[in-house]
């Protein structure tokens, strides 16, 4: 089995026609973690709808002491126990991320016209050699739906949660949720009766500390998230994890996670693209599941960046035979660097 792990760097460098730094359209590029709260027009417009988190935005736009955005969010999350307003602020962050990424993906697809995609070209390269592995597991940390779109190009349309993992040839696991995923809210919501999605969303944010949220996931087709109308009306909460460094839980259906564990145990090659390897809970899962001696290749912008990832993973994931690519995702695709690793 081939397992491919994608991080934010993969969506950041997702189109060969618009490589990072060489495009005049950076304002609609899918952001890296440290760029999630920048003062871009799309981002600021999304933030305007969620004033409950405005107090913490300065901390996230200009982190102090060389902290990452993930470290700042982790600190804020840690303060929630003794400062309850943090729970409301962080709930607003989830709604913001959902709305911002929805609009960002829409603008990015308008720009690229959905013609070229490194994700689609990678799947084409994998399919050429898939007879070697029989099965492929795609694991992504990204909330966006660029990989979902590429996945659908190979005859696997995703309309229900089970569609991600029901195929024998390919499985797609979104370990930290998705911009178009939501979970049912069990707590009665007063605004539900009027049926205004914005009112429901704001009540969910204001009452975040006391909400009971179920493990039932839905794919939503409209935004903002907040209200399901069919088959019955119910409140919905965005199913995407706050981007903190030391996550202790996945935002993913349990049956998806079980299939992920089985895939990792059967992995014969491991390809990592645009993932920094800092999520400790997933690194621990790799340590416990990846067979010793598995060949691994890291693609991460530049060779030095890839080596940093390897050095980080080597401390915890023993036995993987790591190598590094010399370039980022676009060059990896255009130069067909993966052929040598995949064959």
Q: Which pLDDT does position 153 carry in this prediction?
A: 78
Q: Which pLDDT does position 317 carry in this prediction?
A: 86
Query: pTM of the predicted model, to two decimals?
Result: 0.96
Q: By C-alpha distance, which of 101, 246, 257 is closest to 181?
A: 101
Residue that has been written with the tokens 């590029």 in this structure: 29
Distance CA(170)–CA(158), nearest Å, equals 12
pLDDT in tens, 1-13: 999 999 999 999 9
Q: Is 154 exposed, middle or buried (0-12, 13-18, 19+ CB in 10 A)?
A: middle
| Low-confidence spans in the chain with pLDDT less than 50 | none
pLDDT in tens, 137-154: 999 999 999 999 999 877
Q: Which pLDDT does position 315 carry in this prediction?
A: 87
pLDDT in tens, 175-199: 999 999 999 999 999 999 998 999 9
Distance CA(44)–CA(4), nearest Å, equals 33
Distance CA(293)–CA(221), nearest Å, equals 42
How distant is the alpha carbon of residue 34 from its chain centre? 14
Encoded tokens for 342 = 């995949």
Q: Which pLDDT does position 23 carry in this prediction?
A: 63
């Amino acid at each position: 089995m081939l397992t491919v792990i994608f991080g934010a760097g993969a969506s950041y460098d997702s189109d060969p026609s618009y490589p990072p730094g060489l495009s005049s359209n950076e304002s609609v590029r899918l952001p890296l973690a440290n760029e999630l709260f920048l003062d871009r027009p799309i981002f600021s417009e999304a933030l305007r709808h969620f004033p409950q988190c405005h107090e913490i935005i300065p901390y996230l736009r200009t982190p102090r002491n060389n902290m990452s955005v993930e470290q700042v969010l982790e600190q804020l999350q840690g303060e929630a126990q003794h400062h309850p307003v943090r729970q409301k602020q962080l709930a607003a962050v989830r709604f913001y991320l959902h709305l911002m990424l929805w609009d960002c993906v829409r603008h990015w697809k308008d720009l690229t016209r959905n013609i070229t995609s490194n994700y689609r070209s990678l799947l084409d390269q994998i399919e050429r050699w898939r007879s070697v592995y029989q099965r492929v597991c795609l694991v992504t940390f990204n909330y966006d739906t660029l990989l979902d779109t590429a996945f659908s190009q190979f005859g696997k349309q995703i309309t229900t949660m089970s569609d991600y993992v029901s195929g024998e040839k390919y499985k797609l696991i979104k370990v930290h949720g998705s911009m178009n995923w939501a979970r049912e809210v069990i707590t009665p919501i007063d605004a539900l009766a009027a049926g205004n999605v914005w009112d429901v969303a704001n009540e969910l944010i204001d009452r975040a500390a006391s909400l009971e949220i179920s493990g039932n996931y839905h794919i939503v087709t409209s935004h903002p998230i907040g209200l399901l109308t069919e088959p019955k009306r119910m409140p919905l909460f965005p199913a995407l994890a706050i981007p903190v460094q030391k996550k202790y839980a996945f935002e993913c259906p349990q049956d998806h996670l079980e299939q992920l564990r089985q895939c990792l145990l059967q992995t014969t090659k491991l390809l990592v693209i645009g993932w920094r390897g800092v999520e400790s809970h997933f690194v621990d899962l790799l340590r416990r599941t990846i067979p010793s001696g598995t060949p691994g290749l890291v693609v991460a912008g530049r060779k030095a960046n890839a080596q940093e990832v390897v050095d980080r993973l080597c401390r915890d994931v023993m036995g993987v035979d790591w190598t590094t690519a010399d370039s980022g995702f676009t060059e990896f695709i255009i130069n067909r660097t993966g052929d040598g690793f995949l064959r």
